[in-house]
Amino acid sequence: MEHFQIGKRIKELRKENHLTQKQLAELVHKSTTGLASWEQGLSEPCVNDLRLLCEIFHVSADYLLGLSDY
């Protein structure tokens, strides 16, 4: 089983929604460096950031966490 990284899903969703790292970072009140760190799997969003990402992308936390494919 491949190790799931939430960052891969964040990056996919960001690109699907035609957002730059800077634009998404502003929406979640983080630095561009912080967002890049998520996407690279160097760190992960906290619960409050996860909730905000779900609202922005209109997806479930299960989807972002790799527990669901929808």
pLDDT in tens, 12-54: 999 999 999 999 999 999 999 999 999 999 999 999 999 999 9
Residues in the chain: 70
Q: How confident is the model at residue 60 (pLDDT cuts 50, 70, 90)?
A: very high
Position 53 in a domain:
yes
Beta carbons within 10 angstroms of residue 6's beta carbon: 19
Position 1 in a domain:
no
Question: Structure pTM?
Answer: 0.90
Please check whether residue 41 is in contact with residue 5, taking contact to mean a CB–CB distance below 8 angstroms.
Answer: yes
Position 69 in a domain:
no
Q: Based on the structure, what is the number of domains in the chain?
A: 1
Position 41 in a domain:
yes
Tell me the backbone φ, ψ of residue 31, rounded to 5 degrees: -80, 160
Please list, in sequence order, all residues whose beta carbon lies within 8 angstroms of the beta carbon of residue 18, skipping any fewer than 6 positions away: none
* Local structure of 42: helix, strand or coil: coil
> Which CATH number belongs to the domain containing residue 41 in this structure?
1.10.260.40
Position 70 in a domain:
no
Name the residue range of residue 59's domain.
6-64
